[in-house]
Amino acid sequence: MLLLAGVLPSAALACPGLEVKGAWVREPPPASPGTAAFMSLHNAGASALTITGWRSPQFGTTMLHATLSSGGQTKMRGHAQLSMAPGEGIVLAPGGLHVMLMKPTGTLHEGEPVSLELSCGPQTTSFEMPVRREAPAAP
């Protein structure tokens, strides 16, 4: 069956079942080369969901990082993909998984929006998240 692209709701092109909650970006210190974004992801769909890419027009480089602590030292390393079974969720939070945002194209201050695009194969989900100085209180 053919569908007319013009009448497709945009949600049909989004990652199926993906829900994003509580997304925010830490306000970078002056002259910082980058910052990080945090959020809760949930797969409300009927099939497994894999997030394969991250992109923000406000940063030159966007990637998923994990934080590792060993011997009192904290390191970050790249984290390939996030997969969620139906009903499963993943939390990106300070001290753990985060979206690393490097090479900002401009300055960012508290309250300003940052756009982020998540890819799951050929589909994408885009949203805006606010810049914050502090982590929001847990709901």
Report yes or no: 110 and 135 within 8 Å, Cβ to Cβ. no
* CB of 31 vs Cu ion, minimal distance in Å: 18
Nearer to Cu ion, 34 or 45 (CB): 34
Only one residue has tokens 């904290």, namely 74
- Of the candidates 42, 55, 65, 132, which one interacts with Cu ion according to CB under 5 A? 65
Buried b (16+ CB within 10 A) or exposed e, 81-119: ebebeeeeeeebeeeebbbbbeebeeebeeeeebebebb
Residue nearest to Cu ion (CB): 65
- Of the candidates 100, 101, 108, 120, which one interacts with Cu ion according to CB under 5 A? 100
Structure tokens of 109? Answer: 């201050």
Q: Does 99 bind Cu ion (CB under 5 A)?
A: no
**Candidates 38-46, 77-85, 97-105, 119-127 — which segment interacts with Cu ion by CB under 5 A?**
97-105
Which residues of this chain interact with Cu ion, rule CB under 5 A? Answer: 65, 76, 100
